[in-house]
Structure 1
Amino acid sequence: MMDSIDINVDHCNVSNNATYITLSWIVVGQFALGLPLNLSVLYIFIFRFKFWKNKSIFLFNIVVADFLLVACLPAKAYHYQRGQRRSPNYIMCKTMLFMVFLNRGASIAFLVMLSIDRYFNVVHLGRRNFVKVLKRSPLISVVIWLFLLPLTIPTMLNTFECCNSYGRVNNTFSQNVTDTSREVVFFAEILLPFIILVFCTVRIVHRLRRKTVGDKSKLRRASYVVTSVVVLFSVCFLPSTIARAVLLAMRVVRPEVENVAAQVYDSLMVLSYIDCLLDPLVYCFCHSGFKDAYVTTFCPVFLQKRLLKLEFSSGIGTTTTTNSSGARTFSLQMLDK
């Protein structure tokens, strides 16, 4: 029978400095690339694209969440450089956990809303779309942010980042409840949105393949864009989720390999931060109006014509038309939704 784990043992000190120094430089690289990218995207959304007039409130909130998460990365790199899995300062530790999980949760929540909206626009065109009604008001964005606040409470604990939870000596009932609620929030935040994204993507792609009106190449590109959302989500979030499940199991059944499992988990969590770099590329730059505004603002003149010409010749959208019999065919300007 495995011995229980002493609650007083500090599981936040790293067991392999080389691993965490490497991770710290990866985080620095993510920050160096993510900060200017997200700042430039926010600038376009606010001053050039005017997201509130272009029905892009969900996209804007995704970028805001990504930007706030990028802002936390220097602190993460600093602690990894010092051989710490998290800040030893109580307030700093709580603040980091709050920022990371609030903004990561917000990014995922608005992504799900965006996917549901596209699902109704393609699969159930013409029916009442409650998401379309909701996204017209900025209040829905405020409600989503407020709803996420209480979900961060279980994760704002030192024990989360260091996984000093299950397997402790003389666990109390309150400790077991806290541990369980924290893990339920963490896994539900990833697995439930993943199920919704897969469902919406499969239905959208199936509907596109059955569509007989429109440019086949454009419809095929639209399918690739929709599928890329699920691929991005899977690459960024699923590995760290699986690694945490393994880490929790190892703490109880094979504590001697916990240090290795912790390094794998932390490495895959760092991988999940790359979502802040990929979100603008997958969501924003596939939106033709946003892409035009970005290119004309930041790209040199000699590149502008080439990029805009390329978009015109290989756009992924189709247009709504009415045929001679009066039947309406739907449009799929996929990321303009």
Structure 2
Amino acid sequence: MNVTPFPANMSTDPTVDHCKAPNQVTYQTLSWLVIGEFVLGLPLNLSVLYVFVFRFKFWKNKSIFLFNIVVADFLLVACLPAKAYHYQHGYRRSPNNKLCKTMLFMLFLNRGASIAFLITLSIDRYFNVVHLGRRNFVRVLKKSPLVSIVIWLLLLILTIPTMVETFECCNSHGRKHETRFHDVTDTFREIVYFGQIIVPFVILVYCTVRIVNRLRRKTVGEKTKLRRAVCVVMSVVVVFSVCFLPSTVARAVLLSVRLKDWEHAEDVVVQVYDSLMVLSYIDCLLDPLVYCFCNSGFKDAYVATFCPAFLRNRLLNTDFGLGTTTTTTTTTTTSGIREVSLPILAK
């Protein structure tokens, strides 16, 4: 397959990585995987967004954090066609410097937002279960949309290194042509990249262990809410384990190979890393499972809106993750120690 030539205004310095794909077959395959994720993710996230706004009315049901995850996933899906296009034309990234930086900025931002709000939900469940009766600061904060705005602004600040003028599209540590400013920028970007995965994952594991231990010590009558909390944090663990951890490990290996200047090995590791990054994009397909576990009201509203009739009644009467069924037409949303019964919104 012929590769689109590099723009004339780009450097011809062979030490500069122009993001050219090291293997055409690999990136052709990845392009079709990205297209598949887009084809599945676009209608799914549009339907979720519709339910949150018009059927579930997230602002009334105190689900602002969940809605922010929906927004992050939708923005991620919007970037996928460009990724598929570049892979089809033999590039790991766009050869256009401005477009390359914009894409990296969007991917970093949406990834960080998804992780931040998923972890916030897990911390909320942790306080509701392990420290029941104490003042839950997350529960207080999540009622205000200003908190979500602050999180987005903080993520914007942390993502700025991908947009600085000296940032070369695909370069990172280990490039011989790097200046000191390049090195500082790359170092900060890598700290943000690994920090936004490792720190939340440690918090997530801690919350999961504490909640499971609490479940084991509780009596039978108190286990329903605890099982729901376990389902929430375990669903987040699944998202992390499938989407974020593999690509993070591959990134660490890639940096190690570059620092040791193993050029032939780098071509292989780069393909593995990009493949795992494509895998990480299925985050936008897995997050709706988290929504269902977090809030049965959303699950019921979604099922009532989009599921066919022969599945609707069965799904509406099943409370995911609890192993119990209900015979009423209402759904129970658990928040802290208070349970509120919410009717399914009419069509």
Asked if TM exceeds 0.5, the reply is yes
Superposition pairs of residues 36-115 of structure 1, within 5 angstroms: 36-115=43-122
Gaps of at least 5 residues in structure 1 are 1-5, 321-328
Change (3 A) 1:212 1:331: farther
TM-score (norm 1): 0.87
Alignment match of 1:314 (pick from 323, 340, 344)? 323
Percent identity reads 73
Alignment correspondent of 1:232: 239
Pairing 1:95-174 to 2, within 5 Å after superposition: 95-156=102-163, 162=170, 164-169=171-176, 171-174=178-181
Determine the structure 1 residue equivalent to 2:10: none
> 1:196 is matched with which residue?
203
- Relative contact order: is structure 1 or structure 2 higher (C-alpha 8 Å, sep ≥ 6)? 1
Does residue 296 (structure 1) correspond to residue 304 (structure 2)? The answer is: yes
Distance in 1 between residues matched to 2:116 and 2:264, nearest whole Å = 37
Retained in 2: the 8 A contact 1:218–1:316? no
| Contact kept in structure 2, 1:221 and 1:316, CA below 8 Å | no
Equivalent residue letter for 2:235: S
Alignment partner, residue 256 of structure 1:
264
C-alpha distance after superposition, 1:289-327 (max 9, x if no partner): 11111111112223211222333993499x99xxxxxxx
- Please report the RMSD computed on the Cα atoms of aligned residues, expressed in angstroms: 2.7
Q: 1:119 to 1:132 in 2, by over 3 A?
A: same
**Aligned to 2:221, what secondary structure does the other structure show?**
coil
Structure 2 unpaired stretches of 5+: 1-12, 327-331, 341-347
Question: 1:64, 1:53 → 2: CA distance?
Answer: 18
1:92 deviates by: 1.3
Aligned equivalent of 1:267: 275
Contact (CA 8 Å) 2:129, 2:229: kept in 1 or not? no
What is the total number of aligned residue pairs between the two structures?
Answer: 319
> 1:55 is paired with a residue of what secondary structure?
coil
- Offset at residue 222 of structure 1 (A): 4.9
Answer whether contact 2:211 2:226 (CA < 8 A) is retained. Answer: no
| 1:177 partnered with 2:184 | yes
TM-score if structure 2 supplies the norm length?
A: 0.84
Q: Secondary structure at the match of 1:214?
A: helix
Classify 1:332/1:315 alpha carbon distance in 2 versus 1 (closer, same or farther; 3 Å).
farther
Does the 8 Å CA contact 1:250/1:258 hold for their aligned counterparts?
Answer: yes
1:154 match: secondary structure = helix
Q: Which residue in 1 is equivalent to 2:291?
A: 283
- The verdict on how the C-alpha distance between 1:51 and 1:160 changes in structure 2, with shifts beyond 3 A counting, is farther
Q: CA 1:212–1:277 in 2, change beyond 3 Å: closer, same or farther? A: same
